[in-house]
Structure 1
């Protein structure tokens, strides 16, 4: 229970590689808030967490080994967050840029497609803002956290 089954440096390396590869894969998969996860997204996250567990700890099932990998994951998360907060270039690279989904009622379908958003997703976001037709939208922006901000057109 207290004896490491793998060298400490290997656990650091394994945890780092898995974190960085998964970060890259999720970054490339598009923007989506946790509240917007479909059952398929949740299932995927659960399966991935199980699949990469052994990749992170190898044959080590010790308490210190598991805690060491947990500290590595938290450290990477803190380091990347810190870097993004200190550098605009790093922030854009790590978190992306907000993207306009609708401008003056015109829906940018290529932006929806690139971010794996359906028209139904967009319409649901508009309805949450009390807007029931895209023509009534001045701007709708997909934020870096996956949220959609909407500015209604001014009524004449």
Structure 2
């Protein structure tokens, strides 16, 4: 087989494997960036590279693999944009965590978000407690958006992503 065709096929398989794994492990896993997660990302990228290019460590091989990844990412985004069914298969939906000061404990349990984590995010958005929150949503990118206030609605979006608290007994 042509060595570059081999790289193309390997790259496509690795790309789809990563999409499936990220879908299975969920958006909260994407938002966790502690030391262990950074190490995991580095190791995955190294093993992914090895799986894509095999023994070919040439510049051309690396460029072919990168081009395939960019191309398939572009195609995947276009297909997701055009097909709601495919988009729903690949991406999770946003979930309501708090509505009018009432916490949805089923959603928190499903996402494995502790009360301490939720309290932390609420404070980061400038609110004292959940009762002041009109709407809190776990977005598809793993961030939590909060809308608060009475007459003068105030929306904040915290760029810091939530992380699992290590050793927390409230999980």
TM-score normalised over the length of structure 2: 0.77
Matches within 5 A, 1:2-151: 7-32=3-28, 37-151=33-147
Partner SS for 1:66? helix
The alpha-carbon deviation at position 133 of structure 1 amounts to 0.6
Residues 17 and 60 from structure 1, CA distance in 2 versus in 1: closer, same or farther, beyond 3 angstroms?
A: same
The alpha-carbon deviation at position 42 of structure 1 amounts to 1.6
Residues 44 and 13 from structure 1, CA distance in 2 versus in 1: closer, same or farther, beyond 3 angstroms?
A: same
The gaps in structure 2 that reach 5 residues or longer are 152-171
Contact 1:104–1:153 (Cα < 8 Å) also in 2: no
Q: Please tell me the root mean square deviation across aligned C-alpha atoms, in Å.
A: 2.3
Aligned residues: 151
Residues 110 and 52 from structure 1, CA distance in 2 versus in 1: closer, same or farther, beyond 3 angstroms?
A: same
**What is the CA–CA distance in structure 2 between the aligned matches of 1:114 and 1:43, rounded to whole Å?**
26
**What is the CA–CA distance in structure 2 between the aligned matches of 1:53 and 1:118, rounded to whole Å?**
35
**Which range moves more in the overlay, 127-136 or 13-22?**
127-136
Residues 116 and 20 from structure 1, CA distance in 2 versus in 1: closer, same or farther, beyond 3 angstroms?
A: farther
**Which range moves more in the overlay, 34-43 or 85-94?**
34-43
**What is the CA–CA distance in structure 2 between the aligned matches of 1:85 and 1:65, rounded to whole Å?**
30
Residues 35 and 22 from structure 1, CA distance in 2 versus in 1: closer, same or farther, beyond 3 angstroms?
A: closer
